[in-house]
Structures are given as C-alpha cells and as structure tokens.
Chain A
Amino acid sequence: MAGSLQSASRLAGELRLDCDVVVVGSGAGGAVIATTLAEAGYDVVVLEEGPHVPNTGAMRPSESIRHTWRDGAVTLAVGLGDSPSINVTAGRCLGGSSTLTGGVCFRIPDHVLDGWVKEGLTDLTPEKMDPWFTEVERDVHVEEVPANMRSRGTELFGEGFSKIAAPLKPMRRNTRGCHGCGRCNFGCAHKAKLSVDIAYLPRALAAGARLYTGCLVGKVEFSGTRATGVSGRILDFDTQRPSRPFSVRAKRVVLAAGAMFNPLILAKSGFKNPVLGKHLSLHPSFRVIARFDEPVRGWEGAMQSAYGDFYEKTDGMLFNSVSVPTGVLAATMPGFGTAHGKLRNQLDHLAIFGGMLHDDATGTVRPGLGREPIMTYRSSPRDRARIPVLLRRMASFWFEAGAKEIFLPVFGVPGQTADSLKNFPLEEVHGRQMECSSQHPLGTCQMGVDPQRSVVDDHGRVWGTQGLYLGCGSVMPSSLGVNPQLAIMTMARRTAGLMVGEGR
C-alpha cells in the first residue's frame, strides 16, 4: 500500500499517530533506516522538521539556501582559544543534508575501521562492512567521475598536485547522467544526483511509510526506560515557528536528526550520559583560491570531481575539488568598492580547491536558547598546527600549476604571490581571523562498547534504554577524515538490518 507525504502544518486538529517505528529526521541516515524498515513490512512514520522542496535545480543558490539550508547557512561552531570559528552547514528539508551534497562518496577508510575494531567494535571490520557498503553504493549509484567532467580549476590543481605529490584520483559520486553543471549544493536540474529524497524516500513511500514535514520533534517519551514515542511541535508553514503540539506513539524510536540535534533531543528527554554532545568532529575545511592568467571558469564541471589523498594517512589531510557559486567566490575577495571590483571582474580567472583535516573530534554541542544548539570547537594542538601546513601545501600546488597569486582563507588579507607568501606570517595568524567551514558534523553520540564512554552500542541502541536507536552522523565512533554521507547511510543500513533481525 502506498504511504503518504504531508506537510503537518496544513493538517487540521491535533496530530496523534501510532506506528511500529517512528524515525526522526529524513536525511542520509533517517531515510535509509525508514526505507529498510518499511520494505521489511514495518509501519513507519518519518518526522521531518524542514519542508519538502523538490530537488529540481529551479532555484537560484541563494533561494535554495534560504529554503533548504539550516540557519541560512550561518551556523557557527565558536572557536575557543586560538581555534578558528567554523561555519557549519546542514540541510533542513525532506532528505536533509543529503540533498545538499556534492555527491562525494567515500567508504570509511580501512585504517579508521581498524581503529574502531581496536576500541572493541569488532563487527566493524572492513570485511564485515563490505556487504553493507556494496548494497548502499548500488542503491545510490556510486560511480567514478570521468576525467572530462573535471573543471579547468581542478585540472590545474591536479597538475600542481601531481608534480609535488601524486596524481589526483577520480572522485566517486552518487550520480547518474551528470551533466557537470557544478551546482549540486543547490539542487540538480538533471535529477542526476541520487540523494536520499530520490534514491530512498520514494521507496519508503511505495512501501507504505508515512512522511510528515514541518514536525519539530522535542523529546522522546519513555515509560520507565522503554521509549514509547516522541512529541514535539508542528511548525507554522509561513513563519516556521513552533505552533500546535503533536505526538507519535511507537514500539521503537529512531533518532536520525543529525549530529547537531540528536544530543539536544536526548538531553531534553532527560537522558544523561558523560559523553553526550561531546567529541564533535567537523573535518575543518579550508579553501585556497588561485588567480591564473588564463580564463579558468572554475564553476564549469562536476562539482567535486577529483581528490588527493596522498597526505591522508600520514598527515590527515584530504584535498577535494570544490566549486562554489561565483557570488561566493566574489565574497571571499578582500575589499569593497573599486578594490573589490578589480577582483570581481576577474572571477573567470579564479580557481578554487578545498583542503580538509582529519580532526581529533574536539567540539561540543549543547542546548542553547531556542531550538538551535550552541557549538564550540577547540582545535587540538595537533590540528591547530596542521592548518598553516595545509594552506602552504595548497598554495604550493597552485603555484606549481602556474598561478599568479593565491588568496588565503584569512579575513581581509590581499592576494599573495609565491614570493610574498614566503614572508607572510601564516603560522602566527590568530584562528579568529581564519575562514573555516564544515559540512560534516559527526560523532556527538558516539558508538562504543563502554556505556560510560559512548552513547550507543554497536547496534545503534542507546545505552540504558529499550526501543531507542540512533541512526545518523551522530553515532560515528571517531572522525572519518573523508566525506561522510556514504558512511552514514551504510551505518544506518546496518542498524536497520540489525533492527529487523531483532524481530518485532
């Protein structure tokens, strides 16, 4: 029987539902769990805070941000001490952050899985994870980006990278029929990006799941230590402010609200645990922009087509091709008026590449005033020391490829030539002056084997409760060092499979 998809804001009267499993959040984790369980015959309800915005590519980037990105993309993890503050972005719509990705898909590196196994998570070996990965990769159609889809900027960075390190590798992405128009973060007009709203949620619907948008879940309801459902507020469609209450009774509850929100919901539900909200890992990311004499038109090409992992295992640095809207490129240029105009008029000569740190998971998420969390991030000394190294390396790749000047992610600093960069005191720049971003909040409700040092067991069950599971980026036992959507979907698929195995 086909399920339903409704905006709760439009429903008259109170919303009270009964089901086998309620899934909170429809993103990378939640969609996969909901689909698996619905297809296994469970009566599934999915509650999503954000609206349903079909991924058509019809919106301008700024329109997409205002409607589908959380907080209009201004969320900050406040840097403590000498750490940079980090702009953390996430989705807030049906399909969650999955709808905003560049499509990049990495398996969890073997050395990361080996580390988890050493911590006692003995079922997470590369061999045992392989079937789960294979299934999800098939479902979302993970394929290699052909070299002819690379932007000119990526080709140039690749030239420099291969002279100093090694050739870039082709990215694997969840796409089919990509035209290389580089606007994956804002909706794909060609429906080529197989995000969960395309690859999974229609399956859940076809299997009878009931999907509700505009439902902000506040807390999990318990009877003793057994989870019995969730409650929260329906959001007014026009203002997106909480209005009427709703409640869902369920035999099992899955929280998949992402690493920023799962700890808040658990805390509001009265759940206590020494590591709840801690160990936030963000993969702090930095961009370095280069100006070439030749026109580059860096925005033409598959958004993320190649990567360099030469330094990942040794130094925890991953270099990923990125493409950003020209307006964002312009915004990163220093100055105003004529000075800014000079740079604005050369946007087609600029190329951009990203560098990401495999961090030590040193952030924290706490409840704040209102419904958004307070996030803080204090880089470990090791992470902090690696920032200038990462930036200098990226600059050297660009110069090796013939760049005339580069623009560092340091507020207000003019372009640097190869010579001027040598004397630029990058190592002394305060974190406060650095521009840093993250699209990968992870690990605030870590999986582990010790209830005092983790929030969920290796099935995704919340310690000390019954019938309560977590299934999103919040459960990652450590930072991954690679883009996480495939890892999240796969871990969620595994948790759902184990839930089915446990029986009703």
Chain B
Amino acid sequence: MQAELQPSNIGPPGREHLGLLPPPSPQDDVANRKLVLPPPRVRRAVRAVAEALFDDETPPDPARLDWAADDFLRFMVTATGRAHLILRASLFALTWLTPLFVFTPLPFAWLPVKRRVLALERMEHSPLGPAALAVKAMLCMIWFEHPDTQTETRTVPACKEVA
C-alpha cells in the first residue's frame, strides 16, 4: 500500500515542497484505542487523593474531581511499560500505608479530607515520598489542563506572539 504525502509549505528553505506524513486512519488513531479501565475501587482511591490534594479554602469542584480521576485512569491504562505498574503500586501504598501516618488503620478514602491532607504531607517527607509524588505529579498535570483551573489560576496558555 503506497502512502501519499500531505501537501504542506513547511520545511527548510528549498524543501518547502516536502509533504507531511499521511495521518493515521481512524482505526490507527491512538485516541481511539479501546481501553480496559481498572475497577471502581481504584477510581475511588484516585479521587480521594485528588480531593485532598486540591482541597483549599473552598473544596474543589466535584465534577472536575470526577473528570480528573477518570482521566488519571485513562492515563494509567494507556501509558505503556512500567507506568501502569508504578501508578498502581503508588495507589496501593497511598490507600493502605498513608493512613498509618495519622495512626488510622482504615483505607485512605474513608478518612476525612483534612486528615488525608495531613497523612499525605507526612508521607511526602518520609522515604515513601516518591509514591505520593508519582500520583501527585500526574494529578496536578491533568488538573491544570482543565480550562476552569486555568482560568482560576490565570494560567491559560498563550503563544508569545499573541501575548
């Protein structure tokens, strides 16, 4: 099967005629991968961490928390290699070990939000810190991609030329 280059006018001088690689067909588009999402308890754990992480004077918007938790799970099952394993292991540690930092042998999601925050802060300073950080990093990244977060925090992306 031959592939036709897509017309374009980019490229270095003298090669502006160079086309672009043809885009993938819809069935080969990574956005259309069929994903198998983890069980609801994993989602509960992610959402509980997000709720604590983004807790502020006013609690975070529940719809945005749902979106962030769902997108986190999509990230986890899409990323290849060890990402899935590492995030799953970190979530396991957060669910079962974090509560021990506030001397409560209950699953993390069962703790009140303020207690979760305290437990996470203590964990961050412990040798288990990286487990908290892996999940925190990914949640922050997703959270700040939400247009409402960007508006609230004055972080709407703009090109330098436009700005």
Residues of A within 8 A of B (CB): 1-7, 9-10, 51-54, 60-63, 65-67, 69-75, 92, 94, 138-141, 148-149, 151, 176-177, 179-183, 191-192, 194, 197-199, 201-203, 205-206, 211, 237-240, 295, 297, 299-302, 325-328, 330-331, 334-341, 344-345, 347-348, 370-372, 411-412, 432-433
CA distance A9 to B79 in the complex (A): 18
Cross-chain contact A51 with B24 (CB below 8 angstroms): yes
> Residue B137 at the A interface, CB < 8 A?
yes
List the A side residues contacting B36 at CB < 8 Å: 239
> Residue B63 at the A interface, CB < 8 A?
no
A-B residue pairs in contact (CB < 8 Å), sample of 16: A5-B3, A51-B24, A53-B30, A62-B75, A70-B81, A71-B79, A141-B13, A181-B157, A191-B10, A301-B160, A328-B140, A330-B143, A331-B141, A347-B155, A371-B81, A412-B129
Cross-chain contact B21 with A52 (CB below 8 angstroms): yes
CA distance A237 to B28 in the complex (A): 8
Cross-chain contact A198 with B11 (CB below 8 angstroms): yes
Cross-chain contact A7 with B78 (CB below 8 angstroms): no
Asked whether A197 and B21 contact (CB < 8 A) given A61-B145, A238-B33, the answer is yes
Asked whether A74 and B143 contact (CB < 8 A) given A66-B74, A328-B137, A411-B124, the answer is no
Asked whether A338 and B57 contact (CB < 8 A) given A10-B27, A71-B82, the answer is yes
List the B side residues contacting A300 at CB < 8 Å: 157-160, 163
> Residue B136 at the A interface, CB < 8 A?
yes
Identify B71's interface contact among A62, A70, A411, CB under 8 A.
Answer: A62
Cross-chain contact B160 with A3 (CB below 8 angstroms): no
Asked whether A180 and B12 contact (CB < 8 A) given A72-B83, A92-B80, A339-B121, the answer is no
List the A side residues contacting B160 at CB < 8 Å: 148-149, 151, 179-182, 300-302
List the A side residues contacting B144 at CB < 8 Å: 325-327, 330, 347
Cross-chain contact A202 with B5 (CB below 8 angstroms): yes
Chain B 33-51 near chain A by CB (<8 Å), digits 1 or 0: 1111000000000000000
Residues of B within 8 A of A (CB): 1-5, 8, 10-13, 15, 18-24, 27-28, 30-31, 33-36, 52-57, 71, 74-76, 78-84, 86-87, 113-114, 117, 120-121, 124-125, 127, 129-130, 133-134, 136-138, 140-145, 150, 153-155, 157-163
List the A side residues contacting B56 at CB < 8 Å: 337-338, 341, 344
Identify B80's interface contact among A70, A326, A336, A347, CB under 8 A.
Answer: A70
Identify A331's interface contact among B71, B75, B140, CB under 8 A.
Answer: B140
Cross-chain contact A336 with B30 (CB below 8 angstroms): no
List the A side residues contacting B76 at CB < 8 Å: 72
List the B side residues contacting A60 at CB < 8 Å: 145
List the A side residues contacting B54 at CB < 8 Å: 337, 341
List the B side residues contacting A412 at CB < 8 Å: 124-125, 129
> Which of B23, B28, B52, B125 has its CB near the most chain A CB atoms (within 10 A)?
B28
Cross-chain contact A6 with B5 (CB below 8 angstroms): no
Cross-chain contact A72 with B81 (CB below 8 angstroms): yes
Cross-chain contact B5 with A181 (CB below 8 angstroms): no
Identify A348's interface contact among B84, B117, B155, CB under 8 A.
Answer: B155
List the A side residues contacting B142 at CB < 8 Å: 62, 327
CA distance A407 to B157 in the complex (A): 23
For the complex formed, measure the closest distance between the CB of B42 and the CB atoms of chain A, giving whole angstroms.
16
Cross-chain contact B12 with A62 (CB below 8 angstroms): no
CA distance A494 to B145 in the complex (A): 42
Cross-chain contact A336 with B5 (CB below 8 angstroms): no
Cross-chain contact A66 with B124 (CB below 8 angstroms): no
Identify A206's interface contact among B5, B82, B125, CB under 8 A.
Answer: B5
Cross-chain contact B11 with A194 (CB below 8 angstroms): yes
7 additional A-B pairs beyond A4-B1, A211-B3, beta carbons within 8 Å, are: A3-B3, A199-B12, A206-B5, A326-B144, A330-B144, A336-B52, A341-B56
List the B side residues contacting A370 at CB < 8 Å: 81
> Which of A2, A53, A62 has its CB near the most chain B CB atoms (within 10 A)?
A62
Identify A181's interface contact among B74, B87, B125, B159, CB under 8 A.
Answer: B159
List the B side residues contacting A432 at CB < 8 Å: 127
Asked whether A336 and B18 contact (CB < 8 A) given A3-B2, A3-B3, A180-B160, the answer is no
Asked whether A238 and B57 contact (CB < 8 A) given A194-B11, A336-B117, the answer is no
List the B side residues contacting A92 at CB < 8 Å: 80
Cross-chain contact B12 with A141 (CB below 8 angstroms): yes
Cross-chain contact B12 with A72 (CB below 8 angstroms): no
For the complex formed, measure the closest distance between the CB of A373 and the CB atoms of chain B, giving whole angstroms.
10
Asked whether A337 and B117 contact (CB < 8 A) given A191-B10, A205-B3, the answer is yes
List the A side residues contacting B84 at CB < 8 Å: 72
User: Which residue of chain B has the shortest Cβ distance to A201 in the bound complex?
Assistant: B21
Cross-chain contact B80 with A338 (CB below 8 angstroms): no
CA distance A20 to B57 in the complex (A): 66
